[in-house]
Amino acid sequence: MDENQNITSTPSPTPPPASARRYGYCSYRAMHTVFPIFEYLEVLVVCLITILVVYSCGLRICSVSGESMLPTLQDKQTLLVSNLGYEPSYGDIVVFHQINDDYPRYNEPIIKRVIATEGQHVIIDFENGIVTVDNVVLQEDYIQLDGGQYRVKAEHHMVNTIFDAVVPPGCVFVMGDNRNGSLDSRSTVIGFVDERRILGRVFTRITPIELFGKVE
């Protein structure tokens, strides 16, 4: 054989990866084509991991039910709630779980706005629609108050035209932004809310997507 003769050889094909050999030389993409259930399992795993991360960080996902927080929050909107290092303060929108043996239908998460915290003096003039906390009249641009007056509702034990009370220690006074369509601390059915019953503060609206963002 001529020592100068060039010898040409065909390179050996690259062997498939071990994962492909394990599945009979099917590629990862082919596996998903043949067995679409793998894609659903991946989505499920991602969702479960996301839920675990959310709860481990003190976050909750809640849904609005009803119209008591109009115009700020709409029925069926989805919210993100956090209780990490939370201390109630005026203006916060919170989710709490009250317990009332006489009215069990209200023993579920409720969304309202904090109006006053422990030790503060709350006066509500139902006729003129004025709320005073520690002798300061609140400027509430966020409320819906048809006719400019609070309705007195005997069925909710709201029978006085003037509400006057001091918030007990460890409690908050809450009201819905839709003042004439909200059952809240003005009523003995709900009353003052123990801070330990607060699940967290609403800080983000998730859905609808076009309204995604911070809630105030």
CA 103 to chain centre: 24
Residue type, 28: Y
In the chain, % helix, strand, coil (3-state, to 5) comes to 25, 30, 50
Catalytic residue among 112, 182, 185, 187: 112
Secondary structure element (H or E) that encloses residue 113, with its range:
strand 109-117
Residue 15's contacts (CB-CB under 8 Å, 6 or more residues apart) are 21
Nearest alpha-carbon partner for 55 in 93, 88, 79, 82: 82
Is position 68 annotated as part of the catalytic site? yes
For 5, counting Cβ atoms within 10 Å of its Cβ (0-12 exposed, 13-18 middle, 19+ buried), the class is exposed
Q: Which listed residue (9, 63, 68, 82) is catalytic?
A: 68
The answer to whether 112 is a known catalytic residue is yes
Whether residue 208 is preceded by a cis peptide bond, meaning omega within 30 degrees of 0, is yes
Active-site amino acid positions: 68, 112
